[in-house]
Amino acid sequence: MTVEMWITLGILATAILLFITEWLRVDLVALGVVISLMVSGVLSPEEAIQGFSSQVVLTVAALFVVGGAAMQTGLADVIGQRILTLTGNSPPRLTAVIMGTVALLSGFISDTGTVAVMAPTVLSLSWRSRIQPSKLLLPLSIGSLLGGATTLIGTPPNIIVSDLLVKNGLPPFQFFDFTPIGLAILAAGILFVTATSRWLLPDRVASPDVQRVETPDELVQLYKLPEGLFRLRVRKRSPLAEKTLEDAALRKNFSLTVLEILRSPAPRPLAKVGDKRLILQEEEPKSIPLTPQTKLHANDILICQGEPGDISQASAHWKLGLQPAQAKDKESLVNNEVGVAEVLLPPRSSLIGKTLVSAHFGSRHKLTVLSINRPGVKRQLPLKETKLEFGDTLLVQGSWKDILALRKKRRDFVVAGQPEAMSGPPKQGRAPLALLILAGMLVLLVANFMPMTTVTMLAGFLMIIVGCLSIDDAYKAVDWKSLVLIAGMLPMSTALQKVGLVNVGADWLARTLGEMGTVPIMATLFLITSLFTQVISNTATTVLIAPIAFSISQKLGVQPHAFLMLVAIASSTAFASPVASPVNTLVMGAGDYRFSDYLKIGLPLILISLVIAVLILPLLWPF
């Protein structure tokens, strides 16, 4: 072992530890890897930053834009709902159709986006068919993971292994090369889940505190938010007159949320007759911008949400007039600019063990928590004193922009439902255009008419040009953390090969298992990859394992396609842990799942996938 090998191993071990513990964000860890490889001299600056200009990164970024357009136009939702109308109330048939539908969409759109779109529809079906959500939501996430393995663009690992072939002067995978093995594993997965769901999936009665609803308006009704709305009028002698909202400290001191401020326009003089003036007073008050520095005037109306006791205390303290809310005040809760959404806390959220006050939630995220719901707890939890736990659901209220910003903080939050559907003007009229561009992209990819990077970037560009999404929405659709992760970990793959660690690992596996034949080596690679993908991202796993798989194939004197496809397939088997993939976390609260539920159904699925992969891949790619 050389000094460079030990340095590279140390950087790799540190990165894996940080990936598992999530002490730092994964994209920050990836950037640290790049910098460490440069500072240590293992890679030159040119070698270390090559990942940021990689075709893999550009392709994945373009696919995020295409997927974002499918979401924005409602195309994905329409496709999913129409396919699901084919099913009846039979639990096995419903499970099979749900898994098949989400797998179809995940072959072309990100699995996380697909599950976010499909989950409300699946919950609606579960209520209509009187099947508990716990029987349907885990199959939904499993189907999305299996579906990503059916096409070249279904998941980043498929693109990464194809690019590795190109870098080594070999023909890349074509669009449907993954389809035979992907469909075989998908069919086996659907059959297994359908046949065993009666025993392996829990049948827990869903209580209102873990059910998810489809629209923000339904959330308003479910949480009975209109009952907590009141109007507070700033009297002329109120000490609050001429103070700012920040000075009022209504949220801090009284747990009140100011949703809107209404101010009557100043009267306008129309004419003067002698010593008297004719005044026009506009009766309809106007809404004014809501910021901490907004100065309150006498006769301003504050539309507030809170408990009646808190409202009374605030009105007495500031000498405000207390009025009942009007029917139209509900629009202050949900409209095209502001709204409500449910946010789940995943296992490694930094908020766990903290209160909303100690976490500075309101000031940090510019959102107000209206309610804290905990599975199994039916009583109302106090907002100020409650220490947050894994699985808690926060009902947040604020601008759609700030609600959507939580989606980028995956370590801390999982946003349920489709808040993006309310974040701007609807684009349903663009759905046919989005479908046309998506179909054209698939045709060009299947025909191999142009390089994949060119085709996907062209499709993303056209989505923006025709108005399926704006350029700002395109930037928001891109998961920049995932891109930095890919770009930052690709140099680690280069370093492992440069210092010779890939050959060392490949030699050890070939020497240890070589006499047993190719199948045991493939099975071992599959298990190693699957184990890694339960604790770190499938992208990072593929970047680390794929070069070793390629080297082993070279030492065995066989074509590497089967080995690389094996690694890509194994990286999609993130079934056995709620933290293995965002889609697993997304359904955990709504299905009231426990860690053991994922293990029960996930481990057999991994073994089934392993058997199918080692049997079929040598037939598809003969040695």
Are 256 and 177 in a shared domain? Answer: no
Are 523 and 559 in a shared domain? Answer: yes
Assess whether pLDDT exceeds 50 at residue 211: no
3-class SS of residue 2: coil
Record the tokens describing residue 612, joined without a space. Answer: 């199918």
The pLDDT assigned to 208 comes to 41
Record the tokens describing residue 435, joined without a space. Answer: 């479908």
**Tokens 């292994």 -> residue:** 161
376: left (phi over 0), alpha (psi -120 to 50) or beta: left
Q: What's 313's domain CATH number? A: 3.30.70.1450
The pLDDT assigned to 426 comes to 47
Q: Write out pLDDT tens, residues 16-36.
A: 888 777 688 778 888 999 999
Residue ending a domain, choose from 281, 308, 332: 332
Asked whether residue 403 is domain-assigned, the answer is yes
The pLDDT assigned to 613 comes to 96
Q: Write out pLDDT tens, residues 146-196.
A: 999 999 999 999 999 999 999 899 999 999 999 999 999 999 999 999 999
Are 229 and 309 in a shared domain? Answer: yes
Distance, in Å, from the CA atom of 83 to the CA atom of 99, rounded to the nearest integer, reads 11
Residue ending a domain, choose from 302, 332, 362: 332
Distance, in Å, from the CA atom of 498 to the CA atom of 5, rounded to the nearest integer, reads 9
Assess whether pLDDT exceeds 50 at residue 213: no
The pLDDT assigned to 413 comes to 82
Are 342 and 327 in a shared domain? Answer: no
How confident is the model over 577-606, as a mean pLDDT?
81
Total count of domains within the chain: 3
Assess whether pLDDT exceeds 50 at residue 136: yes
Assess whether pLDDT exceeds 80 at residue 596: yes
Pairing of strands 229-234, 301-305: antiparallel
Residue ending a domain, choose from 290, 306, 332: 332
Report the range of poorest mean pLDDT among 98-112, 220-234, 268-282, 388-402.
Answer: 268-282
The pLDDT assigned to 483 comes to 84
Average pLDDT score over the chain: 82
Strand (E) or helix (H) holding 167: helix 156-167
Type of residue at 454: T
Asked whether residue 52 is domain-assigned, the answer is no
Q: Where are the extended beta strands (E) located within 392-541?
A: 393-399, 414-415
Are 352 and 315 in a shared domain? Answer: no
Distance, in Å, from the CA atom of 541 to the CA atom of 290, rounded to the nearest integer, reads 46
**pLDDT category of residue 425 using cuts at 50, 70 and 90:** very low
DSSP 8-class letter at 430 = G
Distance, in Å, from the CA atom of 100 to the CA atom of 183, rounded to the nearest integer, reads 10
Are 557 and 585 in a shared domain? Answer: yes
- Radius of gyration of the CA atoms of the chain, in A: 28
DSSP 8-class letter at 42 = S
Are 453 and 581 in a shared domain? Answer: yes
Q: Residue 274 sits in which domain range?
A: 217-332
* Angle between helix 518-533 and 538-556 (nearest 10): 170
Cα dihedral 308/310/311/314 (nearest 10): 160
Asked whether residue 495 is domain-assigned, the answer is yes
The residue count of the chain comes to: 623
Asked whether residue 68 is domain-assigned, the answer is yes
Asked whether residue 432 is domain-assigned, the answer is no
CB 437 within 8 A of CB 466: yes
Asked whether residue 32 is domain-assigned, the answer is no
**Residues forming beta bridges with residue 273, ordered by sequence position:** 276
- 3-state SS, 64-119, equals HHHHHHHHHCCHHHHHHHHHHCCCCCCHHHHHHHHHHHHHHHHCCCCHHHHHHHHH
The pLDDT assigned to 227 comes to 64
CB 40 within 8 A of CB 11: yes
The pLDDT assigned to 176 comes to 92
CB 477 within 8 A of CB 29: no
Are 497 and 594 in a shared domain? Answer: yes
Q: Write out pLDDT tens, residues 294-345.
A: 889 888 999 887 778 888 889 999 999 988 877 666 666 676 667 788 887 8
DSSP string, 569-589: HHTT---S-TTSSHHHHHHHH
Q: Which of 39, 7, 26 is nearest to 540 (CA)?
A: 26
Are 352 and 296 in a shared domain? Answer: no
Q: How far is CA 422 from each of CA 73, 143, 343, 404, 574, rounded to the nearest angstrom? A: 12, 27, 16, 10, 31
Q: What are phi and psi of 86, to 5 degrees?
A: -75, -20
**pLDDT category of residue 273 using cuts at 50, 70 and 90:** low
Asked whether residue 256 is domain-assigned, the answer is yes
Distance, in Å, from the CA atom of 393 to the CA atom of 343, rounded to the nearest integer, reads 5
Q: Which of 584, 590, 583, 594 is nearest to 133 (CA)?
A: 590
3-class SS of residue 154: coil
The pLDDT assigned to 216 comes to 61
Assess whether pLDDT exceeds 90 at residue 409: no
Type of residue at 197: S
CB 457 within 8 A of CB 445: no
Are 345 and 328 in a shared domain? Answer: no
DSSP 8-class letter at 1 = -
Percentage above 70 pLDDT, the chain: 84
Are 292 and 354 in a shared domain? Answer: no
3-class SS of residue 300: coil
Asked whether residue 429 is domain-assigned, the answer is no
Are 398 and 502 in a shared domain? Answer: no
Strand (E) or helix (H) holding 341: strand 338-344
List CB contacts of 226: < 8 A, sequence separation 6 or more. Answer: 220, 325, 329, 330, 333
